[in-house]
Every structure is written in structure tokens, then in C-alpha cells.
Structure 1
């Protein structure tokens, strides 16, 4: 059986509807997964008209009704978006709709009705205006799934990066880091890669300070206090882990293939190297949920929404990774 993957539409004022319509027209991607959309049917029809897609919409009541016909887009309709919603503009209504789409997807995933969720981009400000005060998708998914802690992993063709902290200011992030959190992050990343078929992942852990603190010359001993205990604990478990290593050379080494995974300590430390490699093939994976979740590694792109110029290749890559990580996909392999 192919894995069943739900695509959530994201913020309806952004490019989410367009990239979904374009991706659903790709016959090769539909060979590797059974896909359906959770979103507003009328908004998706507007996107079909904008991109001049030959596909038609088939309304379904749930995953059991997915037809898998390549000339249709099966949609579990959540009518949350007015017909006159402007493209490319901040909207509380669109923010609330994005939440409703995710909420339904998590409900289905927790019930075992689907194998993975692949999310379209949302706008954090619109989400907050819509009454949902989450920093982003990662935290919202964890809360809805009842999971206390998850990790964000970004992947690119030559690099995987998992984050100890994400949506925090730099000072707050450093305060949050400790040995236990570092250890849990290393372990979550290792377990995911083992599940994905890498029997003994090579993991490198980034330092906080320049030159990994240079023996205490830089910083206030954060490497020894906050990172080394977590690394030592993971090593005692038998994991192949090095660190803390200077971040400037570490990411270079990861890019040339020395490591299967880099553990970054804070948001920009991990995001910048991956995004320098290119947004087109970047994928966001939430690690630690009881189901698979992937996402494009770009935002709502309000400046080009509704204009039929957005590239849907990042969504195709996110779907591929969701299929590769899903239980049914791994069983088939």
C-alpha cells in the first residue's frame, strides 16, 4: 500500500493553494503516495482556475473515500474562507482557517487514518490574528498532538540539521539550552535517521560560541556546562556523536558529507546554512510527533500569491520525504 498523506492548504491568502494544485498534477508524485487535501474547496477551485489546471475537485468526507484518480483532487472540505478573500494580504480569517486545516489533519493522524501530514505554509502573524498564539507549525502540531517536546529538522540535498531550540530570541534560546535538552535532541534525530534507513548516523553537535569557546576564552563556559553533558550521555548510549564543534567549520564539513546530521543550538545557526543551499529542495520535518509531518521550507510568499508564478518543487520534495518516512513506505521497502 502507498502511504496516505494529507496536504493541508496553509494560509489561503498565500501560495499554498497554488502549489498544492500544481503538485497534484504531477503524476510521478502520485505514484508514490495516496494524496488528498484538507482545506477550503472553493479556495482550491480558485487556485485551479489561476494555474489553468486540468484537474477537477472531488469532495470527500474522509480518507477512506480517497479515489487516487490522477485527474482529480480529493478534498476534505473545511469551508473557512470567503470567496472574496484577497490574495497576498494578511488576514485573520485565513490564519484561523490554517489552524482548522491542521487541527483536522492531526485528528486524522492521531486516529491512524493517515500516515503523514505535509503542510502548506502559514503566516504566523495571521495565525495570531486568527486567535491562535503559536510561534509556528511545529509548536502547534506538538500541542494538538499532546506532545510535550518536539524538534525541528531542516533537510537539504547535502545537509540535515536538527535544532535544540527554534522560535526563541537568542538570549532566551541560550538560557533554554541544557545537557538534557541537547541529549533529547540528539536522540530524536538519531532515531528518525535509523528509521529512515541509516543504521548508525554520524552526528555532529554545534557549539554556541566562536571556536567552541576556545577553552573558555569566549563566552561563559556554555559549551562545558550546556552541551558537553548531553553529548557525553549520547556517546554513552553508543551513538556516533561528536561535539561541541565550532559552527563555522562544522557546517562546511557537513556539506561535504562528513556527517549525516548536525545538531544546531538555535534557530538561525541551523537555518542559515540550509537556506544558503537553496530553498527549492529544503524540507522541514517535525521530529518527535507520533506521526510523520513534513513541510516546505518557505513562507506564504504574499508578494507572488495568486499570480501563477510560484515554484511547486519544494512541495514535491516535502511529499517525497513524507512518503519515505511513513510506516507503509518503509514496510514496502
Structure 2
């Protein structure tokens, strides 16, 4: 009888342990995940995995690579659980050459904002004017004070998006109350000014110290028409994609809070379902496009996985993250067809080729 009681007690303990394990946070689970590979810092070493090992349709790989070359691609990488499965350079590019991220680099600013909040330098619920002072826009003061850091992350500041790239106060005109109008706008760079102000350093120095150097990225911010544009090699974008795909963790160090990234990669406001904190989201019921106030029904990229989220930049700079398939996909290069701001028909055409490759 005592043995039976001990057996039942043991089962109860094991059952409780199982339940408590289920309640472990995603962040804690990932810290102990040994299946994901992280390439060494400041090294050209990067472990690989063959498409055959993953049972991919390898006979379709030449077609994908030919299509990439024909469409002005310079660098292309696919990672699976951190390991390189496909890496190709073309059109006079190679692994050591750099290229611009364009608006895909917005997500670098998202990540840096999350780090700054973790360090207590800011809170995304705060007014932007708490850090930059009043008069950083030409809006009436009462309207300017409605704009929070989160509004800049969500692209719903209510400021006019019709005055070009310049973000001087004269160009940041009131159009609607913050939170009531979504518009793709370069005003997000004011986040970099906030971080520089509150950290008592330059944005570039803060970014390099807190993010770039911690994951072994190369690259630099270059001022172009009053905007910071990031330039790097293709592997650096892949490193960043790996960091984000692992919810802000690099090996055993949580660099970006996972709770912040969860908010960043889910719908952030009720106007554009397909937008988080400067991240594009697939699989939503509708979406908005840059320079448009129209709502389009359906998924952003219908033939891509529904759980995919992406950093998309001018002229087809692409960073796709697909959690369900443990994939990070990078495409850098000139525009495939014609100049574009972020999303283009190339996304759908490229995913046709990727889908042919995947099992």
C-alpha cells in the first residue's frame, strides 16, 4: 500500500512538473534550445546544412538561382536553424561587398528602441516631445503632444507623408491625430534622435555597441538626404534575421526583450493589420501599402507562409522570417523590375520559386 501511495505521489509530482514545464515562457525555452546554431563573432566560419539533408527539391534550386540572377539579385541566403543552406552571390557581387538595406533597415531601429527601453532610457508610451522638446514638428502643440514613441514605431503619427523624405519640422505637418491614420513615413528616424538624446551618445555608437557588435554584424550607417541608411554585407543581414527569429537571443544572451519583439512582430494598430513595429506581417486579412490610404483585402504575400514577417526595403531588399519552418531568407540587390518602396510583385514571384524548392 505504501508502495502504491509512493507511486501515485510520484505521478502527481511528475504531472505537476509537466504542467510547470508547459508554462515556461518562450524566452526561457529558447535560452535552452541547443538545436539553433549561432555563427561565431568576428569570424568567417558559418556552419552549413545541405538541401538534401532537409529533403528539399534540389532539382528546383538551379531554377531559383537563375531567376535570382536574372532579376538583379546580388546576395541571397537561406538559413535553417541558423545554418546556411543556400548562399549565392551574383551580378558582380561577392560575400565581402556591401549593399544598402533601404527601408529594411527600419527594423534595426525597432530593435535598438527595444534595447533602449530595456535599459530604462525610454518608454515607448512616452511622448516624443519628452525627449526632443516641443517644436520637433510644425503641428499645433496639443497635436504634437499626442505623438508617442510607439506611434513612430507603428507609422500612425498622423503627420503628413506628402512632403518627401526630409524630416525637418516644416515638413512634419499635422494631418490627423496620432493613432487615427497609418502612413508609411520617414519620421521613424526621429526614434534615432530620441535614442541619441537619452543615451548621451550618437545613435550610430549606441547601435554599434548594443546591437551590431554583440552579434558579429559588419556595416555602417551612411547619411543620405538626412536619412541614416544602413549598408552591410549579406551575412550581416542574415545575422540580424537569426537574432530576430530567436526572439532577440544570441546564444545565451537576451539582447532584445522577447516581449517587445512579440509586440513588434504582431499587428500594432487597428488600421493596417499587416504592420507591427516597422515590420511587415503576412497572413492578415487586409493590408495597406506605402503612399496609399486604401485598404486591400487578403494577405500581404498570399503564396508565402502565413506566419511570415518581413523587413522590406526599396528596390527589393528582403528579409523574410518564417518561424514555422525555422527559416531566415535574405535577398539584396537592385530592383527586380521597377523601382518600388517596399512590397512589390517580386515578393510573390520569388515565393513561387522558393515554394518549388521547399518540401
TM-score by length of 2: 0.27
Greater share of helix residues, 1 or 2? 1
Higher-Rg structure is 2
- Of the two structures, which has the highest relative contact order with CA contacts closer than 8 Å and spacing of 6 or more? 1
